[in-house]
A and B are shown apart, each in its own frame.
Chain A
Amino acid sequence: MKVKLTIWRQKNPDSKGQFITYPVDVVNGEMSMLECLDVLNETLMGRGEEPVAFEHDCREGICGSCGFMINGIAHGPLPATTVCQLTMRHFKDGDELVLEPWRSRSFPLVKDLVVDRRSFDRIIQAGGYVSVSTGNAPDGNAIPVGKEIADRAMDAAACIGCGACVAACPNGSAALFTGAKIAHLGILPQGKPEQDRRAVRMVAQMNVEGFGSCTNIGECTGVCPKEIPLEEIARMNRDYLLGAWRERGNVVTAIAPVTDWNFGEK
């Protein structure tokens, strides 16, 4: 079968981008969306053109590197699937697929379909951890954690940080990503001592990064490859409300967002 890929091409953040349409032969339905791009890139390079830059690594749906919009849906039409696992059998001969990068001011564009998601790392830096240095741990079974609690925590912890939630949200909100980490650690007894501080700091960072507000409509969870539920956002709101009250006496700071790629190099 043949498909047309209409892809956003943009050399760098400062240049003007545009859509370019490329016809691609799909060998069989088991081919993934990214393998389709591989085939296209081989062709482009054969013609001396620059290949399409796209982010990818594990190609088994867990690293969270890949992701772009396909016909207006983050990660494409198949639920709970990253683009690396999206096989071409879900499309028909002659389909036109519009591939567009995540669009958010908190994910500045790098090149073609590649964006900068370091804002997510900074949200984790702000408090997405349990402050326990190596060597401090009691025996693994010292604190019992009920199966249901462990399962709930795992539901939230399954987030792969791909950014689809932000990309799909009409408001560009990072509530699902932030909520998932706050919920994962807040649910577990190990995360309780820092629950308030974590929520307040992570929410502050999320706001400083310039993400939009959550209007509880659920577009994020609809595209989430790991189907992180909307209730993680409620969990964040609860922890934040309680935390903001209990931590009202404490100073909260945030990390200045960085968008350049200069690491002290001359």
Chain B
Amino acid sequence: MGKVTAMMNLDARIPTGPIEEAWDSARFEMKLVNPANKRRHSLIVVGSGLAGASASATLGELGYNVKCFCFQDSPRRAHSIAAQGGINAAKNYQNDGDSIYRLFYDTVKGGDFRAREGNVYRLAQNSVHIIDQCVAQGVPFAREYGGSLDNRSFGGAQVSRTFYARGQTGQQLLLGAYQALERQVDTGQVTMIPRTEMLDLVVIDGQARGIVARNLITGKLTVHLAEAVILATGGYGNVYYLSTNAKGSNATAIWRAHRRGALFANPCFTQIHPTCIPVSGDYQSKLTLMSESLRNDGRIWVPKQKGDKRPPNEIPEDERDYYLERRYPSFGNLVPRDVASRNAKAICDEGRGVGETGLGVYLDLSDAIARLGVETIRERYGNLFDMYQRITDEDPYKVPMRIYPAIHYTMGGLWVDYQLQSNVPGLFVLGEANFSDHGANRLGASALMQGLSDGYFIIPYTVGNYLASTKLSKVTASHPEAQAALASTQQGVAKLLAIRGKRTVDSFHRELGKIMWDDCGMSRNAAGLKEAIGKIRALREEFWQNLNVTGSGDDLNQSLEKAGRVADFLELGELLCIDALERNESCGGHFREEYQTPDGEAQRDDEHFSYVAAWGYTGAGKPWDLTKEPLEFAYVHPSQRSYK
């Protein structure tokens, strides 16, 4: 009822034929909606980050009636805004041998051969259009004196293909999309509904037809109907409590859709970012990222001696271990994120970590400062240095920065086919919320690329194809399924308020985060995962007995909002561990201690695990159904990743 039961055969609808022509031919085969008919169609977009804003704007431009929801006070607050480093595009402006094929190759390899080739190739193709579109919108990308676009290099690539706007690339790209969105709001094509959170998906006759949303100011729950629902609500990194995500980032929209039948794919593929400011205390509410671009000019090191407590500047050159350069001579400090993070953890586990907690390594830009001068470094990284100094009270122009890995991005998400449609017809999922393009590890500067590719250049075609080829009955908010969804959401909110226990939401969230980080973080093993699953279940039990949410449900109540999100994280966390336990191999961000090469690198098992794990919800407390979508590699042949 109001729910799609998982199908056993997942059809990813990947076009056949040469990969270079696949997207073109797919587009040609798509059915079109007559321009005059577009205005008769209504769409719901949940989320206003890069994917959501770009999708809303573009669909509005095409003439659809769009309702865009965000929980923040303005669409401009979405967490895409915090992306620092840049966005990749296969422009080859630097004449250094880049091409669409190379970006495709790097991304598939960087994802440790757990992404679909077809999706990734299309992403690389779209990358060049994204840059053009953003430049036309007035995104102030960095420029050369001659007026052409500047590039920097980034982890996991040996070409310079990252476009950037100081250390605020995400902000500028998001503002570009936000402005395009506001332009459509002005024309009336898009209705923006801020401070409103999706709490359920309305499924009618097996099709996604709307959402139940809570107005966060008035507490009112309302059914919003449309002909298709597009989720662009970001990732679930906050299941770890401490992450680089925004405090508000949550998985509620995708999780509630999952409970209505949408498959959740590869939840265990989480990315740990190697360069974050280390944790300083228990009160800590989030972790702050220092852009990976710092690794371009920075060198990572620790003292050779265990427990060397001398200040960094007093440790002579020959007593320093530049361990990334030592172990990976060809990529050096620019190895992909998963490799850099794991190495930092290994070094700290050896007892060579720095700082008070011993959980940190040095990121040292003094060589670059000597080589390029303070001014150049200030121009490239000034805002990052300022941020670091504000938080730590140390001057990175003089003392090496201390960094440690932190949860940053989640490659997993709702399962989607090539058209970005989930297994629930009419439910589309974009950006970090879906699982599609990054496999088991995302390369730096690729998240922005994917969000915008999905929103500007894919969904406008595929949603039209869906509308033109699907028979949709007329429905109203009084439809029994819509009313049932509304009623169950109401009960859910009331239940949270009725517990009146002793513990705050944050204390549950923090405890969940600790379980996740300790047992399902940078490295995982079967015993730990089994234990974690047990602990999460017990914690969830306690949550529903002992939660304390003050206030009422009919006004702005931030702890009530959080409670609903943490309730979902308590379920998602379990699935994440189950997926990690099921995947008996190491790949990308998923490192199982049992499966490593003799020199400690991730050991994939292509024979048994070259698939997408798509999990279906079968009911509260019941085991999930696993459906496997096999992955085929016709172009980039899986090999042991080597950055040596």
Query: Chain A: residues with CB nearer than 8 A to chain B?
Result: 11-12, 27-32, 34-35, 38-39, 41-42, 44-46, 48-51, 53, 55-65, 78, 80-81, 85, 87, 89, 110-111, 114, 116-118, 120-121, 124-126, 128-141, 143-147, 149-151, 153-154, 157-158, 160-161, 184-185, 188, 190-191, 255, 261-263, 265-266
Contact = CB atoms under 8 A, between A and B. Distances in A.
A57 B72 contact: yes
Interface string B121-164: 00000000101111111101111111111000000000000010
Contact of A184 (B76, B138, B163, B504): B138
A33 to B, nearest CB: 11
B41 interface: no
A96 to B, nearest CB: 21
Contacts of B215: 261-263, 265
A31 B281 contact: yes
A265 B284 CA distance: 38
Contact of A39 (B142, B175, B283): B283
B530 interface: no
A128 B196 contact: no
B515 interface: no
Interface in B150-184: 163, 165-166, 168, 171-172, 175, 178-180, 182-183
Given A118-B73, A154-B140, A157-B175, A30 B183 contact: no
Interface residues of B, number: 91
B458 to A, nearest CB: 11
Interface of B: 54, 57-58, 61, 72-79, 81-82, 91, 93, 129, 131-138, 140-149, 163, 165-166, 168, 171-172, 175, 178-180, 182-183, 185-186, 191-196, 215, 217-218, 220, 222, 246-248, 280-286, 288-289, 386-387, 390-393, 456-457, 460, 504, 506-507, 548, 550-551, 555-556, 558-559
A128 B57 CA distance: 14
Nearest to B248: A57
A26 to B, nearest CB: 9
Contacts of B183: 125, 129, 131
A46 B505 CA distance: 11
Contacts of A57: 72, 77, 79, 246-248
B136 A130 contact: yes
Given A49-B550, A50-B551, A53-B558, A132 B137 contact: yes
A37 B180 CA distance: 35
B39 to A, nearest CB: 16
Contact of B246 (A49, A59, A114, A158): A59
25 contacts: A28-B281, A38-B283, A42-B506, A46-B548, A50-B551, A80-B386, A87-B391, A110-B556, A111-B555, A121-B76, A121-B182, A129-B138, A132-B133, A134-B180, A134-B457, A137-B129, A137-B132, A141-B149, A144-B147, A150-B140, A150-B141, A158-B168, A185-B138, A262-B215, A265-B220
Contacts of B79: 57-58, 63
A30 B391 contact: yes
A42 B223 CA distance: 33
Nearest to A129: B179
Contact of A111 (B93, B163, B246, B556): B556
A130 B179 contact: yes
Contacts of A53: 556, 558
Given A59-B247, A137-B135, A30 B281 contact: yes
A30 B280 contact: yes
A50 B504 CA distance: 12
A64 B149 contact: no
Nearest to A132: B136
B217 A261 contact: yes
Contacts of B248: 57
Nearest to B71: A57
User: Would you list the 5 A-B pairs with minimal beta carbon distance, nearest first?
Assistant: A144-B147, A129-B179, A137-B136, A137-B132, A261-B217
B140 A125 contact: no
A130 B136 CA distance: 8
A124 B179 contact: yes
B391 A58 contact: no
A130 B139 CA distance: 10
A84 to B, nearest CB: 9
B503 to A, nearest CB: 9
B456 A134 contact: yes
A87 B285 contact: no
Contacts of A128: 179, 182
B402 to A, nearest CB: 12
B556 A28 contact: no
A160 to B, nearest CB: 7
A84 B57 CA distance: 30
B175 to A, nearest CB: 7
B77 A65 contact: yes
A65 B247 CA distance: 11
Contacts of B246: 57-59, 63
A124 B286 CA distance: 30
Contacts of A29: 393
Contacts of B456: 134
A105 to B, nearest CB: 17
Contact of A134 (B58, B73, B280, B548): B58
Nearest to B280: A30
Given A62-B81, A89-B393, A161-B74, 9 more contacts: A34-B285, A35-B284, A50-B551, A62-B171, A64-B76, A120-B74, A150-B141, A158-B166, A160-B81
A99 to B, nearest CB: 16
Nearest to B178: A124
A46 B503 CA distance: 8
Contacts of B57: 134
Given A48-B550, A124-B178, A134-B58, A146 B556 contact: no
Contacts of A124: 178-179, 182
Contacts of A150: 140-143
B556 A145 contact: no
